[in-house]
Structure 1
């Protein structure tokens, strides 16, 4: 594939270093620097889960999770974009083969964004396809996207009328609406389409994505047959895992310096907090590792495994957010300074952890549904 591959450790290291160097500026500017964007692309994230017939690298969920977390140790926003590039590429496997070929015509470095948060979308059936108009919220990375996948309406489980459309760069614009406390550099702005023609072969039924039923030549690939909610948590949890490890490293550095002043008296409690946070981060990594391993061996087809994986992803994020809270407290007033990376990590982790896909309660209800139905 063009650019790096998952086996190219040098390209991944370079991307992680670029993300870390640019993190503070990206947070201040509200967008990733061009050097970081290009380094992420060179590390192979756009093609990680792309259909094999279109030059995809054939990466597994475990590989992508580890790579995204490595980026997240330096910049949560950069890791978020890297992860979404990979997972949005996975979505293109649900397009008919002709649509896949068109999206990936320029190779596996193509940058695909998506939004299922339709705000006033209208898809009018016309000869050969649809006439699409509307706005879609929270489109991370839209500023440097080549293609976008957008839904005809907010998805509803089992609704076969809701479609996803692939729209090229010259058919959409964006409005700068993203200005938040955390994850500031994801550029999750509003995407706008005005009466764009979308041919039939550039569309698929959203419910097929939910169920893991791809349409193209790679329909037999387990990475594309994974049901959405069995792996969707990995998309957003992996950047948080990386960020938590970055916070842990900051406290390691602080504890490695001789104590002084008022903080010296609190040194023992800081060591205890650090140790507990380290254990929570390790536990979260093990949970996410099991989610990835289950998907990589095709185990999500087994009864209850998709629900368990959804549960594990959301529980891991709760552990990670709690660990970062603990570490943030250890750094005290110093960590709250705008020049200190801990406050950025703390803001990013709380913002990322609020994503709808990472909420524990819906996962708990889905996990226990079989028990309730059997009662």
Structure 2
């Protein structure tokens, strides 16, 4: 599997724009319009979109590599790129009429999502529902065209929980995202007030969890959610860790003096260990992506292993960045130095619920063993 992106030049341009605007994005708390447009032009929204709606047929491996390339310059931009792709994958669970409406403006349509529902009312009416409520942590809501939101916090096996597709003119947002890291994801609160959602713009959340489509679909669209959800959030962290590694390479290339000279050997060892940890994490994520691309997630224990691998990879990446942060010392802590931003971003991103190793071990990977 080559992992080559369909438009390498556009991907390079997006990575350059993301890296160039990363410091300002961190300061202002939002991505520059030029970065947003470059990510869309690179094809992230269409990567996993349904084939009949302009989807480009990207694989999990290709998206993981492309997102990581963006993440080397800006973790927040990579987060948005990844979510655009994976939200496009979610849209494949809509009935055909709903897919056509969501993607009517073309393959650069920007989808956001949130299953963190608060105070939602979905009142059944003729032909659909009247929807009201708020949803937390909607990354990219400021420049979204459509939103996919749930009727309640999802519970495994609960067939009553639905996901609704809501257009831009039916929702607003409240600026509630102000964090230590990942500051430019714009993960604000989305608000809907009595919007009509037709039946064809909704699907059962548990079908998405299991990878059950309304019709036939590719391995990408039929993958169970928990088996690939970790890739969504781990790929930006992989890119960020590689960006930190490059910073330390430049740091070590400078000839030290005084106390720094005495610590040089220790720094080289830390750098080497971090490089190995990052490579190991990349291999774990590559296996998870390749397994899903080959449609092997229905084999016994494989989906659970992929979930485990994504969380373990993130633990390795966070540890590697911690190690690299120490190597840069006081210089890396300066507000003008990109290392401290990467360190903040990686810790913030690594705290995502989908990336926690303990639940992956207790409730997924070992559950089948206990059941036996």
Match of 1:54 in 2: 53
The residue number in structure 1 matching 2:31 is 32
Aligned position for 1:102: 101
Partner of 1:144: 143
Once residues 275 and 38 of structure 2 are traced to their aligned partners in structure 1, the CA distance between those partners, rounded to angstroms, is 29
The alpha-carbon deviation at position 260 of structure 1 amounts to 1.8
Q: Please identify runs of 4+ aligned residues in structure 1 that moved more than 4 A.
A: none
Residue deviations 1:288-321 (CA, integer Å, cap 9, x gap): 0000000000011111111000000000000000
- Give the unaligned 5+ runs of structure 2: none
User: How far apart in 1 are the matches of 2:20 and 2:214?
Assistant: 41
- 1:233 is aligned to 230
The alpha-carbon deviation at position 56 of structure 1 amounts to 0.2
**Structure 1 position 274 matched with structure 2 position 271:** yes
Deviation of 1:262 after TM superposition, in Å, equals 1.8
Q: CA deviation at 1:106?
A: 0.8
Alpha-carbon offset, residue 264 of structure 1: 1.2
Matched, 1:327 2:328: no
Task: Give the alignment of 1:255-294 within 5 angstroms.
Answer: 255-294=252-291
In the alignment, is the contact (CA less than 8 A) between 1:240 and 1:353 conserved in 2?
yes
Deviations 1:195-247 (A, max 9, x none): 0000000000000000001114xx32111000000100000000000000000
Structure 1: runs of 5 or more not aligned: none
Q: Does structure 2 conserve the Cα–Cα contact (< 8 Å) formed by 1:159 and 1:207?
A: yes
Secondary structure of the 1:222 match is coil
Superposed counterparts of 1:160-239, under 5 Å: 160-216=159-215, 219-239=216-236
Q: Deviations over 1:121-178 (max 9, x none)?
A: 1100000000000000000000000000000000000000000000000000000000
- Of residues 302, 308, 313, the one that matches 1:311 is 308
Query: Take 2:132 and 2:217, find their aligned partners in 1: how far apart are those partners?
Result: 33
* Partner residue in 1 for 2:127: 128
3-state SS, counterpart of residue 236 of structure 2: helix
Counterpart of 2:110 in structure 1 is: 111
2:336 counterpart residue number:
339
- Matching of residue 252 in structure 1 with residue 249 in structure 2: yes
Provide the secondary structure at the position in 2 that maps to 1:32: coil
Q: Is the 8 A contact 1:6 1:44 kept in 2?
A: no
Please state how far the C-alpha of 1:6 moved relative to its aligned partner.
3.1
C-alpha separation in 1, matches of 2:203 and 2:260:
58
| 2:368 counterpart of 1:367 | no
Matched position secondary structure for 1:134: strand
Q: Who is 1:20 aligned against? A: 19
Secondary structure at the residue paired with 1:213? coil
Secondary structure at the residue paired with 1:56?
Answer: coil
What's the secondary structure of 1:300's corresponding residue? coil
- Structure 2 residue 355 is the aligned partner of structure 1 residue 358: yes
CA contact (8 A) 1:96 1:201 kept: yes
Say what the alpha-carbon RMSD is for the aligned residues: 0.8
In the alignment, the residues of structure 2 paired with residue 156 and residue 259 of structure 1 have an alpha-carbon distance, to the nearest angstrom, of 55
SS at match of 2:220: helix
Distance 1:97 1:266 in 2: 62
Equivalent residues of 1:6, 1:57 under 8 A apart: no
TM-score between both structures, scaled by the size of structure 2:
0.98
The CA distance in 1 between the partners of 2:259 and 2:35, in whole Å, is: 39
